[in-house]
Amino acid sequence: MQIDDETLMALADGELEPGRAEAVRRAVAADPELQRRLHRFAETRRLLGTLRTGAAGEDPLAGMIRAAASAAPEPAPQAAPCPPAPAPRAPAANLNRSPWLALAASAALAVLGLGWWEWSGRGGEGLPGAELAALDELPSGEVRVLADGTEISMIASFQLPEGQLCREYETARERMLRIVLACRDAEGWQARFAARSEADGADYRPASGPESIEATLAALDAGEPLTPEDEALALRALAGE
């Protein structure tokens, strides 16, 4: 039986479909020359497998990845003990904050001079139409590129105790980054919180402590992010309004 090298190799690598593998195995069993040729492939595979050594200790990059993945850092303890600190929000079920935002909490972006500043966006701040459309339909965790090149990333949806839907999202265009919390009322979507930043940090102004999106969500008693299923239900309900 004529069997080429690639077939023998595929047998050694478990890449032959079962019927073919069985036939080749029978042929090899009956032929010492085939056994010798197969051995070269099986043995090189085995030897190379020994290079698959485990890591000694944790990789130096692991910390950086965790910082980017941990979406909602615990609120820093306030110096003034007077107002009871909002209860730290538990790890989010469906919070899709993007790496650059999460990284803002770490030293990595401080080097870039990333500065956040407040944007007096409370009540009636007009949101661009394309963002309104995304608010109505874009599921959390998804990104959409708008006609003007702005990239909008939906982060999470929340339901207020009285049933109002709020959504957190980020936009990025060139060097300008924005994070917005919009809530839906009778007149449509209203920005309840917005902050923006320029990556070059020319206009650096430190974010004032309590006026963070976390604090806004806590003040609104927003609770946990909705699960993807609950969010889909809420968005369908909106569409049916």
Partner 1 sequence: MDAAFGEALIALLPNLRRFALSLSRRADLADDLVQITVERAITHAAGFDRSARLEPWLFRIMRNAWIDQTRRQRTAGAQLDIFEMPEALPVDPAPALEAHLMLQSVEAAMATLPPEQREVLHLVCVEEMSYAETAEVLSIPVGTVMSRLSRARLALAGKLGIE
Binding site residues, partner 1, CB under 8 A: 5-6, 9-10, 13, 15, 36, 39-41, 43-45, 47-55, 58-59, 61-62, 64-66, 68-71, 91, 95-96, 98-99, 102, 141-143, 153
CB nearer partner 1, residue 69 or residue 132: 69
- Please report, as a single letter, which amino acid is at residue 21: A
Residue indicated by tokens 């309104």: 132
Distance of alpha carbon 126 from the chain centroid: 27
Strands 151-159 and 165-173 turn out to be antiparallel
Q: Which of 33, 41, 48 is nearest to 6 (CA)?
A: 41
Q: How far is the CB of 69 from partner 1 (least distance, A)?
A: 3
Residue among 121, 172, 165, 169 at smallest CA distance from 145: 172
Q: Which is nearer to partner 1, 95 or 191 (CB)?
A: 95
Please state the φ and ψ torsions of residue 232, each to the nearest 5 degrees.
-60, -40
The distance of closest approach from Cβ of residue 95 to partner 1 in the complex, given in angstroms and rounded to an integer, is: 8
Residue burial 49-85, b: 16+ Cβ < 10 Å; e: rest:
eeeeeeeeeeeeeeeeeebbeebbeebeeeeeeeeee
Collect all residues with Cβ–Cβ distance below 8 Å to 130 and sequence separation of at least 6. 146, 147, 148, 150, 152
CA 111, CA 148: separation in Å to the nearest integer? 29
- 190 or 214: whose CB is closer to partner 1? 214
Q: How far is the CB of 241 from partner 1 (least distance, A)?
A: 29
> Based on CB atoms, which residue is closest to partner 1, 143 or 220?
143
Nearest-approach distance from CB 198 to partner 1, in angstroms: 19
Q: How far is the CB of 231 from partner 1 (least distance, A)?
A: 15
**Minimum gap (Å) between residue 161 Cβ and partner 1:** 26
Q: Name which of 149 and 240 has its Cβ closer to partner 1.
A: 149
Tell me the closest approach of the beta carbon of residue 12 to partner 1, in angstroms.
Answer: 9
Q: Which is nearer to partner 1, 79 or 107 (CB)?
A: 107
Give whichever of 33 and 241 is closer to partner 1, judged by the CB atom: 33
Residue 188, class by beta-carbon neighbours within 10 Å (0-12 exposed, 13-18 middle, 19+ buried)?
Answer: exposed
Which structure tokens are listed for 72? 């909602």
